[in-house]
Amino acid sequence: LDYFHSYPETAGKLKLRLVDLEMSALENFGRWRPPAVDVTEREFEAASAAWQAYRAPTPEACFDLLSKDLSALPLLKPVLIDLLEELPSVSTGLGATEMRMLELIGRGYSRTNSLFHLYQLRQTRIFGEWQHGYLLDGLAFGPKPALTTRYVRSTAKICGTGTRPICAAACRSPNLARRSLPTKK
């Protein structure tokens, strides 16, 4: 939306649809017609603020955005919260999905199929199934692995060090290496 705001003729034709479904279940999408609403200045302003915050070098702007009125884009705030929860924890260095994977493995969900594909079980929405492999690699092949490498053969198991807090750099996945924490002012 931020991009299209610079093109008034195109922006005037835009419509938004609030889609309440998982995008992986698109078999009936062509027949489904959710209500469409015109894109107003409120939506453009919220989208622009979100895009500027997302592009910032550190996440402070995203945290600040949470205190703003984002009701013009109803799903923006929950998705922004989910995204911020993936920043590394101060105590463990892991994001929400990595922590949830360790929780599930610790409870006996050691089959990678359930870790990758049962999104209801994971209760996290930022990463797709393919990205979970990178996250597991980070948990298994870091300097202080939290998982045994048996997960490569379709099972995962928490190793001895996985029962206590993990240092920030221990299990960082390569694709999340540039995550940064907000600094105190």
d(CA 86, CA 165): 17
> Interhelix angle for 129-141 vs 96-106, to 10°?
80
Within 8 A by CB and 6+ apart from 8, the residues are none
Give the pLDDT score at 185: 41
Low-confidence ranges of the chain (pLDDT < 70): 20-30, 112, 114, 117-122, 149-185
pTM: 0.71
Residues sharing a CB contact under 8 Å with residue 163, sequence separation 6 or more, in sequence order: none
For the stretch 13-51, pLDDT in tens is 999 987 765 555 566 666 777 788 899 999 999 999 999
Backbone angles phi, psi at 36, to 5 degrees: -110, 140
Q: What is the pLDDT of residue 85?
A: 94
- Express as a percent the part of the chain with pLDDT over 90: 37
- How many angstroms separate the Cα of 6 from the Cα of each of 10, 11, 22? 9, 8, 30
Give the residue carrying structure tokens 């989208």.
47
Task: Judge residue 118's burial from the number of C-beta atoms within 10 Å of its C-beta, 0-12 exposed, 13-18 middle, 19 or more buried.
Answer: middle
DSSP secondary structure, 87-155, as one string: SPPTTTS--HHHHHHHHHHHTT--BHHHHHH-HHHH---SS-HHHHHHHHHHHHHSSS-SB-GGGGGTB
pLDDT of residue 175: 37
Structure tokens at 63: 């945290």
